[in-house]
Amino acid sequence: MRQNRYSDIVEHIQSSDGLTAALKAFAQRGICTQHQVEVLSKLSPKQARNALEGLAQPPLGLPAVIQINGEVALAGQRGRPQKVYSLLEAGQVVLQQLAPGLPVHLPQFHDAADLLHSYAEMEVFCTGQALGKKLSIESRIGFGDGGNFIIADIVLYQNQQRVLFEIEQQARRVHLARIEEKLSRLVQFYQSSQGKSAQSQLRILFNI
């Protein structure tokens, strides 16, 4: 039903290599800045800018597939804050048409800290991609026999092993319970048989 409703925007985006390449960059986390689109799509700055405008404001009354979700900047980052674009339902449908089987999820942000965290994940991912590394974001990794799992912010696949990265942009008192719970699950993962497939040293990036 949704696919029928969005058939016109699917056809419109599929007819443009630039729109298609830019939208595919959102498959990783559901958000992107223009610079991140440039890295992942290999589009020039002008091409990426035009593509983002076309995805956010398509012609002929077609539904937008992305929207501006805010502006972000990491601590010490030079220049102006960057606009963050996030995927909309129409964009999710189009991506699933472009890449069947790809687990595309709509991003959910409870506050500005969530948005900044997702942006930081994408910055690390794009840096790795630019270096030719294989990575994944928000990977769900099961362990044990009771349906236990962890969700790793970043996983780097290297030398037949997984290297796990956790990103903490804020570690205030109100966040401690969540951080302690996640670290406890990580310890359980590393102590399990499945944990042997990951390097034993966990990389934690604070306020990148």
State how far the Cα of 56 lies from the Cα of 157, in Å rounded to an integer: 33
The residue type of 139 is S
Within the chain, residue ranges assigned H as helices are: 2-5, 7-14, 17-24, 34-41, 45-56, 89-98, 112-130, 176-191
Q: What are the pLDDT digits (tens) for 88-144? A: 999 999 999 888 877 788 888 878 888 888 999 999 999 999 999 999 999 888 988
State how far the Cα of 175 lies from the Cα of 168, in Å rounded to an integer: 10
State how far the Cα of 36 lies from the Cα of 15, in Å rounded to an integer: 23
Q: What are the pLDDT digits (tens) for 64-103? A: 999 999 888 776 677 788 999 999 999 999 999 888 877 7
* 180 in Cβ contact with 141 (< 8 Å): no
Report in angstroms the alpha-carbon separations of 83 from 31, 36, 110, 115, 202: 10, 11, 18, 11, 31
Q: What are the pLDDT digits (tens) for 164-181? A: 998 876 666 766 787 788
* 138 in Cβ contact with 151 (< 8 Å): yes
How would residue 34 be classed by pLDDT, with cut points 50, 70 and 90? Answer: very high
The residue type of 109 is F
Q: What is the mean pLDDT of the chain?
A: 87
Q: Taking the model in full, what pTM does it have?
A: 0.85
With the C-alpha atoms ordered 164, 170, 171, 174, is the resulting torsion angle positive or negative? negative
Q: How far is CA 125 from the centre of its chain?
A: 8
CA angle 71/109/189 to nearest 5° reads 120
